[in-house]
Structure 1
């Protein structure tokens, strides 16, 4: 269902945003769940932005991920990627120091986006084509927990980032196989995505359309 005759969604403001969500675990689906929430929020006319940490992938994963093409078609939903190609700790020819530098850059960008949301009126509609630096209603920090679990960024800095969040900003943090104990007192929702079976354990490589 659309809001007007040209099929475009009308910009609106959420009435009940402002919680902190943490999605972690060794199962597939953390990013997928966050993206689903982003699409849902954008469909209601809320401004959404995705900031991805550590989503460089591997030799079997293309640089352009399917979600980027899809997000580009959704009014009010934008994204950016700050990860280093390859995976930290893997023998893939990438430098772990470069991964750390990229993760720290992502953290600084996240701080800027949270501060920008604090300067915006989140109780009002935001332009669907506006710059995320002018404020968003929903900010997804994909794989930030993975970066913290691997000590590429300090977990204490993640806590400080969450604590600085303005009241009206819904903040979704994903990633990592280890429980984010450091966010135990900061999160309103904590979901563990647990692996019961995964085809990667049987040698299946990442598949286009499901993993990227």
Structure 2
């Protein structure tokens, strides 16, 4: 019996684990709102993992980051930016200010607020553009986010809302305004973002049991950036 034949004589098809070219496609079941929050590591990582999975199916994905503009312990060009740039259909923007809000690192908290406000205006524009696009159809993998996306990741927007850098009521209105077929993923914050959890279809609390920072480790290249 050949390697391609089963015991019943059927011929097997292609190896299901064999990578296939990524071609533009449209998701059949997108349209939910997800919230990822908590004091544990992995919220952004989980969101980007879903983005990678969606892009692998040919769906158009965009990530807009709030509050992540780099620090003295993190390189400006993170590993995920290089990976996203190499993946068809996945794009990103960063609206964060250097440093971390309310940390004594010499950064200007007013600038944090200004950058967060700009990022939120950009988020509204992308959501509005998605509302004008036909999300039931395939979208060009190299098209701008302004022409519509199937999945939008707003990374650390919950953190920005909890800290008052963006108005929580405005975030809520943004969620309520999203088009039916847009998968919207909100991440961030150690405090529960009550302003959006009741609107979400999926809410995940990423809890910390231990973290290497507690034993003196700083952010590590390849795991945190």
TM-score > 0.5 by shorter chain: yes
1:18-29 residue pairs with structure 2 within 5 A?
18-29=31-42
User: What's the secondary structure of 1:59's corresponding residue?
Assistant: coil
User: What's the secondary structure of 2:184's corresponding residue?
Assistant: strand
CA distance in 2, matches of 1:130, 1:164: 23
Question: Once the two structures are superposed, what CA deviation does each residue of 1:153-194 show, in whole Å capped at 9, x if it has no partner?
Answer: 110010000001000000000000000111132100000000
Please tell me whether residue 184 in structure 1 is matched to residue 212 in structure 2.
Answer: no
CA-atom RMSD, angstroms?
0.8
CA distance in 1, matches of 2:84, 2:70: 19
What is the total number of aligned residue pairs between the two structures? 208
Q: Which runs of 4+ in 1 moved over 3 A?
A: none
In structure 1, runs of 5+ residues without a counterpart are none
Q: Which residue of 1 aligns with 2:14?
A: none
Question: Once the two structures are superposed, what CA deviation does each residue of 1:118-176 show, in whole Å capped at 9, x if it has no partner?
Answer: 00000000000001100000000000001001111110010000001000000000000
Q: Normalised by the size of structure 1, how large is the TM-score?
A: 0.97
Q: Normalised by the size of structure 2, how large is the TM-score?
A: 0.91
Q: Which residue of 2 aligns with 1:160?
A: 173
In structure 2, runs of 5+ residues without a counterpart are 1-17
Q: Which residue of 2 aligns with 1:90?
A: 103
Please tell me whether residue 101 in structure 1 is matched to residue 114 in structure 2.
Answer: yes
Q: Deviation of residue 202 (structure 1)?
A: 1.7
Q: Which residue of 2 aligns with 1:196?
A: 209
Please tell me whether residue 59 in structure 1 is matched to residue 72 in structure 2.
Answer: yes
Pick from 174, 184, 209 the counterpart of residue 187 of structure 2: 174
